[in-house]
């Protein structure tokens, strides 16, 4: 793996720390699997994103793990004594992070000499939200997105209105016979929760 530093958003003077790993290149336009880093240093995701590693060889893909601005090594210069913390964090936004990633994708293609390489972005949780939004906001740069546990609709003011119990309903369904579990699973889990809560209340 080669580690390169590429310029992030100029406004915040952030640094986008990227990890690039090349597998067997697929002709002149290898697919690029791009991880949209979220709220931690990039090494955490580099070591815990199996689907990218597992699929790369089959597709002859180049792997890129991008670090989110303000995390890990990708932090802007510290504020001066006269600056407020709020001012320092002004550019810590999803929009700025996506702009960093779009710039990094362009730079990686230039580095590889592969302007026609398709790009598939990957992410989980907040990173999955970024992956989904990248596909929507930068369709000319991103050909597809794989997002896991990405609550992209979980915001106040959405239409239709967000159901805050949707996740619990999905998990409950998984614990039913219709979801592939033993018939007594959901009932047993409910009983177990009652027992745990009762024991907790009793000290």
CA distance 177 to 139: 40
Strand partners, 15: 7
Place of tokens 């949780």: 125
- Nearest-Å Rg of the Cα atoms of the chain is 21
Q: Which helix (H) or strand (E) holds 148?
A: strand 144-148
Walk along the chain (203 residues) and give the pLDDT tens digit of each residue.
222 333 333 333 334 455 555 444 456 789 999 999 999 888 888 787 889 999 999 999 999 999 999 999 888 887 777 778 888 888 999 999 999 999 999 999 999 999 999 999 999 999 999 999 999 999 999 999 999 888 887 777 777 787 878 888 988 999 999 999 999 999 999 999 999 999 888 75
CA distance 46 to 64: 9
Whole-model pTM: value is: 0.70
- Give the tens place of pLDDT for each residue, 116-165: 999 999 999 999 999 999 999 999 999 999 998 888 877 777 777 878 78
Counting every residue, how long is the chain?
Answer: 203
Give the CA distances from residue 64 to residues 3, 72, 105, 175, 186, in Å, rounded to whole numbers and listed in that order: 10, 16, 9, 36, 41
């Amino acid at each position: 793996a080669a580690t390169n530093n590429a310029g992030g958003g100029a406004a915040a003077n952030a640094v986008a720390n990227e990890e690039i790993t090349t597998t067997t290149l697929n002709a002149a336009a290898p697919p690029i699997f791009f991880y949209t880093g979220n709220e931690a240093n990039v090494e955490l995701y580099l070591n815990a994103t199996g689907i990218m590693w597992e699929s790369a060889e089959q597709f002859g893909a180049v792997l890129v793990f991008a670090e989110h601005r303000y995390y890990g090594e990708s932090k802007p210069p510290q504020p001066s004594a006269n600056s407020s913390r709020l001012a320092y964090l002004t550019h810590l936004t999803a929009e700025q992070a996506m702009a960093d990633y779009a710039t990094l994708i362009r730079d990686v293609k230039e580095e590889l000499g592969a302007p026609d390489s398709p790009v598939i972005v990957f992410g989980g949780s907040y990173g999955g939200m970024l992956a989904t939004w990248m596909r929507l906001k930068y369709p000319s740069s991103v050909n597809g997105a794989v997002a896991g546990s990405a609550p992209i609709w979980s915001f106040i003011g959405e239409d239709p209105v967000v159901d805050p119990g949707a996740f619990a309903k999905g998990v409950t369904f998984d614990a039913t016979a219709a979801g592939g579990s033993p018939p007594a699973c959901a009932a047993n889990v409910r009983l177990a929760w009652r027992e745990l809560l009762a024991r907790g209340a009793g000290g």
